[in-house]
A and B are shown apart, each in its own frame.
Chain A
Amino acid sequence: MKKEIVGFSINGQLRDVIITPNMTLAEFLREQLDLTGAKKGCEVGECGSCTVLVDGKPVLSCSTLAIAVRDKAILTIEGLAQGGQLHPLQQAFIDHGAIQCGFCTPGTILTAKATLDENPKPTREDVKEALGGNLCRCTGYVKIIDAVMAAAETMRQGGVK
């Protein structure tokens, strides 16, 4: 099996990395790049805690080969804040107590981001549907939905709160 040096675009930065085909995107991000925001939860694609955005779409990094997405734009939770300013979703999660243990939070926020990018004015029902693939064992979801609705409002008013 070949090892390859590949130019990867991660969080807006192009990085030359060495990958082998049998590396999942989750392993690659966490173990090669120390980007540990994406979690290895169930590792069978059920829990959503490994979610990252690939070309803006929510993807399960535990079930994706890193090599298969080598020329796509990868966004992890580490790349969401811009210039020291938290993304409205991150701020809203803090403000609404939507984080408890925090394990599911990176995946949930990134799925929510993809949702709001596609549908800036969701209903609560839309948000519930959109987060159907992200399990949270702490919050009971109500505060997460509150936070996403609040972030949507902030983003409609121009981004920063």
Chain B
Amino acid sequence: MKAFEYFEPKTVAEATKHLSDYGETARILAGGVDLIPRMRKEEFKADCVVNIQRIPGLDRIDYNGSIGLQFGAMATLHALETSRQVRKGYPAFYQAVRQIASVQAKYMGTAVGNLCVGTPASDVATALYALGAVLSISGPEGDRTEAIDQFCTDYRCTSLRRGEVVAGVSVPPMKAGEGCAFANLVRSRADIAKLTVAVSITAEKDVCRDVRIAIGSAAPTVFRASKAEDALMGRALKAQTIDEAAEIASGETRPITDLRSTAEYRKEMTRVLVRRALEKALAAAKG
């Protein structure tokens, strides 16, 4: 690995300062699962590594009924998986983390790090899109928040500006009548998914009052199938309505063909997974 300057800031403000000084060639080290192998392969220039592991409080995971779930940039996937609040409160997020095969990656890796990689093949990001997560971002110009679907801008690109760091994520509490579900297709448990779907739906007497349909590995970023969501809003949630929405969602994908699947297969399976996830979320919503 090429040489770099190395910092271990004790505060987010200090991290921000180092990141500002070095700009695009500065890299944030959280879990290191993605960063270190890519640095060794010299996939990008890294003149400076800012290790945020020792900033107190960044590993927090808190829940309260009015704000929902909040976790910091150093909350590991393992800590989130073993959090009772995550398991009970956000089944789609819990399942997205739980089904990751590598125990080591879960002990080291963080959910925020996973989001910042900006890959469309993130199960964690797909679940957090469906749950309406909001990111807290700190930077030289102060703090800001951003909805997760605004954060991922293109393949491996995020909206982070020079000097900025994602300090944490908040996930709103599940509403009465809301259910969520996660589904993906994988070649083997150890591989990344060929397609991922997560949904959240709020139903009142079988009428859809709110819905989020998130799809991973079928476009340059994880995305919300907004036309499919529009097709469900305010409608009675009959089997035919759900089938139609799933068909629309399939049409919203822009998949590629790669070693894991053909584009055509991903498109077809989007229809199947969206339908199944909606049915499962609806069953959960009914309790």
Contacts and interface: CB of A to CB of B under 8 A. Distances in A.
Interface of A: 1-2, 20-24, 43-46, 48, 51, 57-60, 62-65, 67-68, 111, 114-115, 129-133, 135
A125 to B, nearest CB: 13
B278 interface: no
Contacts of B40: 24, 43
Nearest to A22: B1
A65 B32 contact: yes
B237 interface: no
B102 A21 contact: no
Contacts of A58: 103-104, 107
A132 B101 contact: yes
Contact of B103 (A20, A24, A133, A135): A133
Given A60-B105, A130-B103, A22 B2 contact: yes
Contacts of B104: 45, 48, 51, 58-60, 111, 133
Given A58-B104, A133-B103, A22 B32 contact: no
B189 interface: yes
Interface stretch (B3-11, B134-142, B210-218): B3-11
B269 to A, nearest CB: 24
Contacts, number: 86
A104 to B, nearest CB: 13
A144 to B, nearest CB: 14
B3 A1 contact: yes
B4 A43 contact: no
A67 B6 CA distance: 9
Interface in B36-82: 36-37, 40-41, 49, 51, 53
Nearest to B38: A44
A64 B30 CA distance: 10
Contacts of A57: 107
Given A111-B103, A132-B103, A132-B189, A65 B4 contact: no
A44 B4 contact: no
Contact of A63 (B4, B5, B37): B37
